[in-house]
């Protein structure tokens, strides 16, 4: 889809979609809902409260969200399962591994793609520094579970190197793309599994997440959420045992959270209109401006070029910034700012101004 660019000025542009009352630099925690997503949720809530037929939610809207996400990550809609959280998707993958399988993860990795494997109790967990993850893959590794972009500090994984190492040793790959999809161009089809919490850079309501499954890996997963939606013929499978599973990744769908997905379909349409390449250029330019300003203040951020910028040792400045109307977060001892499509150079300068005292 052709990009509309990143425009904050005219009627019908981003200025009409977002109305933050603060300098909001916290997308790594939660993205702002665009106006169109808010209106979609309100409409469904009103229909539900009034007892109108549409109030139950619309599966076609859910499939529209599925298709939009598929386009954003370069796979067919049939490779995408919908759900409510990254941890549940990861739990599905964890439950499908044989006892004793080795799972390799980055040190300090986000809990949602580590704990489901740890809690199995009968898997072998191994950890390596993010920068050495590819070298740590061995012939005994069954799965590499890692994030495209680290939540704590914005470091970006060596994606190609990890994929190559996994392929060389016959290991599956699970990529958490939560802190990437929406600003970083990504081919989900290059990984056996990807999981994405869509309430950050994709601007969807909480309760929206997506799992992609490479066709070769699909038969290895057990459809543990196998309600009637997992059936090939859903409307004739509402009672009794299903006779045939959906032939694609829909067999791994969780029961649908309609309010979240009605908002998600609207939000994803905005991301598509903007275009991921344009968002990438916008977001990383703001991050570069911030990094340059930090250098002028004598602060050294974690190296990288992601729109997540973390400064070690400054996490305790977050409350002071919040009092000044600048919302960032403290993570792992770092002060973490995240710049997205609704942010401007003025937001960067405001953050630097408060930090300078």
Q: What is the pLDDT of residues 102-147, one digit of tens each?
A: 999 999 999 999 999 999 999 999 999 999 999 999 999 999 999 9
Confidence at residue 186, expressed as pLDDT on a 0 to 100 scale: 97
- The model's pLDDT over 205-253, given as tens digits with 9 standing for 90+, comes to 999 999 999 998 998 999 998 788 889 998 888 998 888 999 999 999 9
CATH architecture of 14-33+275-356: Alpha-Beta Complex (3.90)
Confidence at residue 13, expressed as pLDDT on a 0 to 100 scale: 73
Domain ranges of the chain: 14-33+275-356, 53-273
Report the percentage of the chain scoring pLDDT > 70.
Answer: 97
Mark out the alpha helices in the chain (DSSP H runs): 14-17, 35-50, 59-73, 86-95, 115-118, 133-136, 159-169, 215-218, 258-274, 276-297, 318-323, 345-356
How many other CB atoms sit within 10 Å of the CB of residue 331? Answer: 19
- The model's pLDDT over 33-70, given as tens digits with 9 standing for 90+, comes to 999 999 999 999 999 999 988 888 999 999 999 999 99
Taking residues 192-214, report their average pLDDT: 98
- Confidence category of residue 5, pLDDT binned at 50, 70, 90: low
pTM (2 decimals)? 0.95
Q: Are 340 and 201 in contact (CB under 8 A)?
A: yes
Confidence at residue 236, expressed as pLDDT on a 0 to 100 scale: 87
Tell me whether the CATH fold assigned to 14-33+275-356 matches the one assigned to 53-273: no
pLDDT greater than 70 at residue 30: yes
Note the CATH number of domain 53-273. Answer: 3.40.640.10
Taking residues 262-288, report their average pLDDT: 98
pLDDT greater than 90 at residue 8: no
């Amino acid at each position: 889809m052709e990009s509309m660019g990143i425009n904050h000025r005219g009627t019908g542009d981003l200025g009409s979609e977002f109305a933050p009352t603060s300098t909001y630099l916290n997308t790594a925690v939660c993205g702002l809902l665009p106006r169109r997503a808010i209106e979609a949720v309100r409409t469904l809530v009103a229909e539900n409260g009034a007892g109108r037929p549409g109030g139950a939610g619309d599966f076609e809207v859910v499939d529209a969200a599925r298709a939009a996400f598929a386009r954003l990550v370069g796979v067919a809609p049939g490779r995408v399962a919908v759900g409510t959280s990254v941890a549940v998707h990861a739990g599905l993958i964890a439950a499908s591994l044989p006892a004793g399988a080795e799972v390799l993860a980055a040190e300090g990795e986000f809990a949602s793609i580590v704990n489901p494997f740890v809690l199995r109790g009968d898997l072998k967990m191994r950890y390596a520094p993010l920068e050495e993850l590819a070298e740590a893959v061995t012939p005994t590794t069954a799965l590499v579970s890692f994030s495209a972009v680290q939540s704590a500090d914005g470091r970006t994984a060596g994606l190609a190197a990890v994929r190559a190492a996994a392929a060389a040793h016959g290991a599956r790959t699970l990529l958490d793309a939560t802190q990437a999809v929406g600003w970083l161009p990504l081919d989900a089809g290059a990984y056996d599994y990807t999981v994405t919490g869509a309430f950050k850079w994709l601007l969807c309501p909480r309760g929206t997440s997506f799992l992609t499954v490479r066709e070769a890996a699909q038969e290895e997963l057990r459809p543990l959420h196998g309600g009637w939606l997992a059936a090939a013929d859903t409307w004739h499978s509402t009672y009794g045992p299903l006779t045939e599973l959906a032939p694609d990744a829909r067999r791994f769908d969780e029961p649908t959270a309609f309010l979240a997905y009605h908002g998600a379909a609207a939000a994803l349409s905005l991301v598509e209109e903007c275009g991921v390449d344009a968002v990438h250029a916008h977001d990383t330019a703001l991050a570069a401006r911030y990094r340059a300003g930090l250098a002028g203040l004598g602060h050294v951020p974690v190296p990288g070029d992601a729109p997540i910028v973390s400064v070690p040792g400054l996490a305790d400045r977050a409350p002071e910034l919040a009092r000044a109307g600048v919302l960032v977060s403290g993570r792992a001892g770092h002060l973490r700012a995240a710049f997205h499509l609704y942010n401007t150079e003025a937001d960067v300068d405001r953050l630097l101004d408060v930090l300078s005292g």
